[in-house]
Amino acid sequence: MIRFARRHMLGLESYTRDELSFVLETAGAFKEISERNIKRVPTLRGKTVVSFFCEESTRTRVSFEIAAKRMSADFVSLTGAASSAKKGESLLDTTRNLDAMRPDIIILRHSSSGAAEFLAQRVACAIINAGDGAHEHPTQALVDLLTITEHKPVIAGLTVAIVGDILHSRVARSNIFALRTLGAHVRLVGPPTLLPPEAAQWGEVVHNLKEGVRDADVVMMLRVQLERQGRNYFPTIEEYARYFCLNEEKLGAAKPDVIVLHPGPLNRGVEIASDVADGPYSVIMGQVTNGIAVRMATMYLLVNRPSAELEEELAEARRAAVNGDETIATGRGF
Ligand code: MLT
């Protein structure tokens, strides 16, 4: 049975429970490669991956690059500032030119919602959306889901509080879609000005931080996306922090085994206090580590699509991981 036959990774809104579970299982199997002494497998040997980032990024960009290199792909990195976009070339023209060089995957980050989908309809290679405006950031949400399942294996029934600037957050949107599909109870917490009109259809809406995290299993903090805000949504940063900065005292209302996520970059003292970011409930560094496995899995699945033998390969990889075998003898060297 083919459980993943997508051509692109654009957003999680239309993903089924089965597809999400399959990508997460695949990512789980890839994790072990980063723990090896020699962190390289030939899975994507002979494949070319281009990353085209028209916005700043630390974690996403570096983890895609490390992931591609750990799978032996040829990796080319281009930023908007260093591209012909600076000379007035349109996004479509730049991407068509990149596509004409026959890469297998282009990873795109862009400030316009829908940019990745627009290009996916016009190029031959696979497109991975690494964040498009305030729309979706699917691989980040997959990272978050993988991290959650490592601490709470069953997502269905968990109460997940997503806190902060939900209006401008692509991370929140991708998570909301996927968490709902997987059966979590989603709570959206923030000032009314930072919640989108659809919020009430997506989950329970709460405007008070302590009430919002009450009895939560998972708290997902979001950065205030000042660069995506066209006007003032709250009087001052200090006032936002007074009401919505998660500190240990407020987190005390959550379940005793709560975990706290944040996609980064952190604004310490604005949305998250250091006692929480660096405290015992934080799984933020685990998210960063999981970024590699999720991006390896995503590229692997797109390049190997459609993948009838995939299930067998994954089963073999899992058996090898259990046996501590570093050389997995499958056709693709997975
Ligand atoms: C994003 O690109 O959306 C980040 O991963 C999260 C953020 O910028 O706050």
Establish whether residue 223 lines the binding site of ligand 1, counting it when its CB lies within 6 angstroms of any ligand atom.
yes
Strands (E), the chain: 48-53, 74-79, 105-110, 126-132, 159-163, 185-189, 204-206, 218-221, 259-261
Q: Do 142 and 130 share a domain, yes or no?
A: no
Q: Which domain holds residue 248?
A: 138-286
Residues 219 and 280 in one domain: yes
Q: pTM for this one?
A: 0.91
Q: What is the pLDDT of residue 331?
A: 32
Same domain as 180, residue 109: no
Mutational test site, ligand 1, from 137, 174, 266, 284, max ligand atoms within 8 Å of CB: 137
Neighbouring-strand partners of residue 162: 188, 220
Whose C-alpha lies nearest to ligand 1, atom 5? 263
Q: What is the pLDDT of residues 217-248, one digit of tens each?
A: 999 999 998 887 777 888 899 999 999 999 99
CA angle 9, 13, 15 (to 5 degrees): 65
Residue 186 pLDDT more than 60?
Answer: yes
Strand partners, 246: 272
Q: How many domains does the chain have?
A: 2
What percentage of residues in the chain have a pLDDT greater than 90?
Answer: 83
pLDDT digits (tens, 9 = 90+) for 119-144: 999 999 999 999 999 999 999 999 99
Question: Is pLDDT at 157 greater than 90 in this prediction?
Answer: yes
pLDDT of residue 330: 32
The answer to whether position 192 is within a domain reads yes
How high does pLDDT run on average in the chain?
A: 92
C-beta of 139 in contact with ligand 1 (< 6 A): no
Beta strands in 215-291 (DSSP E): 218-221, 259-261
DSSP H helices in 32-129: 59-70, 91-100, 115-120
- H/E stretch holding 89 reads none
Task: Tell me: pLDDT of 260 over 90.
Answer: yes
Does 103 sit behind a cis peptide bond, omega within 30 degrees of 0 on the bond before it? no
- Reported confidence tier of residue 328, pLDDT bands at 50, 70, 90: very low
